[in-house]
Structure 1
Amino acid sequence: MKREDLDEFMACYSPANRHVRTPTWSADKPDGRRRMYGYEELIARDKASLDIFWLRDETLADSDKLLPPDVIAQEIVDDLEAALEQFRLIAGDVGRYDAATG
């Protein structure tokens, strides 16, 4: 992911002035990624849940488009191994910090 990948989001989000935020979703544009909800819409949800989805991943609806299970499994293994290596580095850094401040 690069900074420019967030440009559209930042333009819609308008961090400097939240009152000028503009949605990209509408009934005419159901694939818009920026959608605004009013208070009444949110509070009417079960337990005021903010677990909101309106975009659907079409590949999940069509199992023929899914990656083969062995490819998915290998991607999971790769991700877990990378995460474990990061935790090893962090643990090493924490150990050096504790020894220095001991």
Structure 2
Amino acid sequence: MSEDDVKKGDNPETPPQVETVPKSQYTKEKQGLLTDVTAKRERIRQLETENQQLKASQFQVDSEDLSEAEKKLYNMNEQLIKDRATLDKEKSEHAEERRKAQAKTLAS
């Protein structure tokens, strides 16, 4: 290595200067980080619980909507059955009237 390659303060023979931190400051910082981590974990648990509750309520709403839809479908089916019975009755009455009319025509 030439002197040009060695930059000011970059002497390979001397170890780099490391800033030392008092143990009490390190302990406080570590405790602060642990407190932050604990708070974040608690928040995650809280959010997971809220998420599960929302999913459960969503399912409950979907079930209620489904139940309401089933009731409507049942009522529509009942109405369709009644309409079909009325139509069949009217059709048979019309057929009876045609037979009577044909019988009168043939009798005349």
Same fold by TM-score, threshold 0.5 exceeded? no
**Larger fraction in helix:** 2
Question: Which has the bigger relative contact order, CA under 8 A and spacing at least 6?
Answer: 1
Select the structure of larger CA radius of gyration: 2
Q: TM-score, normalised by structure 1?
A: 0.37
